[in-house]
Amino acid sequence: MSKVEISYYSDVLCIWAYVAERRLDELAEQFGDQIDIVPRYCSVFPDAWGKIESRGGFEQFNKHLKEVAARFPHITVHDDVWLRGRPRTSASPHQFLKAVKLVEGDSPALPYLDRLSTRAAREIRHAFFAEALDIGDWQVHREIAARIGMDYGAIEQTFRSSEALAALTIDYGMAGDNGVAGSPTFLMNEGRQKLFGNVGYRLLEANVQELLRHPNEDEASWC
């Protein structure tokens, strides 16, 4: 049986992607090697400070995030999020995560939950939302690399060679080509099925199950 590929586009500064992280984990736990989760990044906070100032400022945005967090007990949001650590852009942590993926490589092909790149993305989001750290700061990246057991020197090499930047540019380009309007966005069935925003787990599960039952790419799916 062919695997169902799930391309998952997110911006690490987006709280809805932080909320959705648990749902990705649940998909991986439930479907195992029947699915292939491919994380990609989209640019929702290219100029984070400008975006937040246009929406009422940092204190108002901080209040908004804490209101969202109150609805989802599985996430932790620091009282000082966006008041203390203030990344200028999501592009910096995105480039770091693409570097981790490059260093990790494709062999051996580990399950999604066992990948260093999955752990790094989880650590980045936790550092920002739960610890209120500036995840645009390379020192934070260095500490996360040490935490997951990855050589930061190898990561830096992908910065110097522009490999990480090229990989990130590809993600941003694919997001545009696939009509990704925001974070998070789940694409399945070669982009024919697109689920965007705060999508419930049961809806994701139903889409995956339907594609597993009808893997023919030319067959229309009810969802």
Please name the residues in contact with 66: beta carbons below 8 A apart, sequence gap of 6 or more.
77, 79, 81
Q: Cα–Cα–Cα angle for 73, 46, 160, nearest 5°?
A: 105
Q: What is the pTM of this model?
A: 0.93
- What's the CA gap between 122 and 111, in Å, rounded? 15
In a domain, 37, yes or no: yes
pLDDT tens readout for residues 140-167 = 999 999 999 999 999 999 999 999 999 9
The CATH number that applies at residue 140 is 3.40.30.10
- What's the CA gap between 26 and 146, in Å, rounded? 26
Residue 222 reports pLDDT greater than 90: no
**What's the N-to-C CA distance of the chain in angstroms?**
20
Paired sense of beta strands 35-41 and 4-10, if any: parallel
In a domain, 221, yes or no: no
In a domain, 129, yes or no: yes
The number of distinct structural domains making up the chain is 1
In a domain, 222, yes or no: no
**Per-position b or e across 124-144, b if 16+ CB within 10 A of its CB:** bbbbbbebbbbbbbeebbeeb
Cis omega before residue 184 (within 30°)? yes
In a domain, 94, yes or no: yes
For residue 7, which of 154, 140, 193 has the smallest C-alpha distance? 193
Percent of the chain whose predicted confidence (pLDDT) is above 90: 91
**Residue range(s) defining the domain that contains residue 203:** 4-213
Mean pLDDT across 83-108: 93
What does the block give as tokens for 194? 């697109």
Mean pLDDT across 78-103: 98
pLDDT tens readout for residues 25-73 = 999 999 999 999 999 999 999 999 999 999 999 999 999 999 999 999 9
In a domain, 218, yes or no: no
In a domain, 223, yes or no: no
Q: How many residues does the chain have?
A: 223
Backbone angles phi, psi at 187, to 5 degrees: -115, 135
Residue 214 reports pLDDT greater than 90: no
In a domain, 53, yes or no: yes
Mean pLDDT across 86-109: 92
